């Protein structure tokens, strides 16, 4: 089971066509840098603990609700319900850049 946040390093895998991180304990935001993965045809981030605005642009406009379900803190397109379509309250936390050791170790394990 993967924990921590999604690493920005994934956006360097430019030929990535499919990313399935379903049913883990990933937390934090879906990074805007992932929009740079122009070959990404399938994205599955369901049933984690992700939060914040879903990135928009490029192929992200083609992913459906089921790519994100089970992440109560996510909002934005393509989520349609009133609870997920509005912006969450502002937070004073500023840990956007804190990716933590846990996420680095799962990514290293993935590449080994």
For residue 98, being part of any structural domain is answered with no
Note the pLDDT of residue 58: 82
Domain of residue 26, CATH code = 3.80.10.10
For residue 1, being part of any structural domain is answered with no
Domain count, the chain: 1
**Would you say 27 and 4 are in contact if contact means Cβ atoms under 8 Å apart?**
yes
Pairing of strands 49-53, 18-20: unpaired
Quickly count: other Cβ atoms within 10 Å of residue 1's Cβ: 7
For residue 94, being part of any structural domain is answered with no
For residue 103, being part of any structural domain is answered with no
For residue 71, being part of any structural domain is answered with yes
Domain that holds residue 50: 20-82
For residue 29, being part of any structural domain is answered with yes
Q: In sequence order, which residues have a C-beta less than 8 Å from that of residue 73 and are 6 or more positions away?
A: 49, 50, 51, 52, 88
For residue 60, being part of any structural domain is answered with yes
For residue 49, being part of any structural domain is answered with yes
Note the pLDDT of residue 102: 54
pLDDT by 10s per residue, the chain, length 112: 899 888 888 989 999 999 999 999 999 999 999 999 999 999 999 999 999 999 988 888 899 999 999 999 999 989 865 444 444 444 545 444 444 455 555 554 555 4
């Amino acid at each position: 089971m993967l924990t921590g946040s999604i690493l920005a390093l994934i956006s360097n895998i430019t030929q990535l066509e499919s990313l399935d991180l379903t049913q883990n304990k990933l937390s934090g935001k879906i990074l805007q840098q992932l929009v740079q993965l122009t070959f990404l045809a399938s994205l599955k981030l369901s049933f984690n603990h992700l939060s914040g605005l879903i990135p928009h642009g490029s192929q992200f406009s083609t992913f459906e609700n089921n790519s994100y379900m089970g992440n109560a803190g996510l909002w934005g397109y393509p989520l349609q319900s009133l609870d997920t379509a509005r912006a969450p309250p502002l937070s004073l936390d500023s840990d956007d850049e804190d990716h933590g050791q846990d996420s680095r170790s799962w990514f290293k394990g993935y590449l080994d």
